[in-house]
Amino acid sequence: MERREFKMNPSQILIVPKISKVQHDMRRMNFDKIQLVEFYKKEKLHVDRIFESHDRQVHALETIKKHLPHVRVVNRNEITKDLVSKYKLVITLGGDNHFQYVSHFIKDSLILGINNDPERSEGALNSITSNEIESVIPKILDDDFKIETWTRLETSVEDITISTLAVSEIYIGEESRYTMSRHQLIHNNDVEEQKGSGLLISTGAGSTGWFDSAIRYLHPNGKVISRDAKEVQFLLTEPHKGKFSIYKMTHGIIKENDVFEIISLNDSDGVLLIDSLEKIKIKEGSKIKIKLGEKLRVVNF
């Protein structure tokens, strides 16, 4: 847990809300509300549920703006690393995917995730729900909060560093999961060629997500580690089983000073995915290096 030596001023706070499905669809299709309702009914969607979720998300943003009237609010498609660096605290309003997306723009700023639709969204990475906004804003301004330091992953391809840090996981394999993925692992002087459905490298924050489902063929109860752990895990997903495929490195630990190397042997559409949000095409034979990156500083209470 990190200590800090500053008080929070509202002018130092940036709010990044995720737009609701209703807002997204109205912009995408240029519909008004009546047209959108008719479209949803035609598609046999749950109209009431969709608009109830929209109302909750709008209310969450209005509540923050009411109690912090002078903070800046920007859409997620407007944020840049330069913009974010000007603020001490970035507050995300959305679910896990939105939190991950915004975290990709953060270097030194603090981040607070608020689940703005707790009735419909898991929000595992968020510190609070929208129901708690009114009670935590005074704590933010009074410096009455904790700072957690979450481990992130840094990646390089052919010795070119990827600027985006993963807060949850990195996937390396064929883009189509029904295509066999192939790679060679190099770790702690061990070398192994593998086939399967791709490789996952997961942080503590990611160990309760995709990784948690994927690892249960080895660990039926999962393998969760803390979000500030000075180590991450790797996992071969759905390993190919044959007479030439007896693997010793299906699951392991990458420690703080380790460099984990992968040589991609994917010959169709090899990719590297960062938090399932950023996709980088990987050529056959490319060397990928993964290590622990700069920490993400997360506000909690």
- What local confidence, expressed as pLDDT, does residue 69 receive? 92
pLDDT in the model for residue 245: 72
Q: Domains plus CATH for the chain?
A: 10-144 (3.40.50), 153-293 (2.60.200.30)
Model pLDDT, residue 6: 61
| pLDDT at residue number 3 | 52
Tell me, yes or no, if the pTM score tops 0.75.
yes
Q: Which residues contact 50 (CB under 8 A, 6 or more apart)?
A: 21, 22, 40
pLDDT given at position 241: 86
Give the whole-angstrom CA distance, residue 116 versus residue 100: 15
Q: What was the pLDDT predicted at 243? A: 72
Report the pLDDT value the prediction gives residue 4, as an integer from 0 to 100.
53
Check residue 1 and give its pLDDT.
60
Tell me how far CA of residue 259 lies from CA of 1, 217, 244, 281, in angstroms. Answer: 25, 26, 27, 21
Is the distance from CB of 16 to CB of 79 less than 8 angstroms? yes
From first to last of the 301 residues of the chain, give the pLDDT tens digit: 655 556 789 999 999 999 999 999 999 999 999 999 999 999 999 999 999 999 999 999 999 999 999 999 999 999 999 999 999 999 999 999 999 999 999 999 999 999 999 999 999 999 999 999 999 999 999 999 999 999 999 999 999 999 999 999 999 999 999 999 999 999 999 999 999 999 999 999 999 999 999 999 999 999 999 999 999 999 999 999 877 678 999 999 999 999 999 999 999 999 999 999 999 999 999 999 999 999 999 999 9
DSSP-based three-state secondary structure for 159: coil
Reduce the DSSP state of residue 211 to 3 states and report it. helix
Scored b (16 or more CB within 10 A) or e, 187-210 reads beeeeeebbbbbbbbbbbbbbbbb
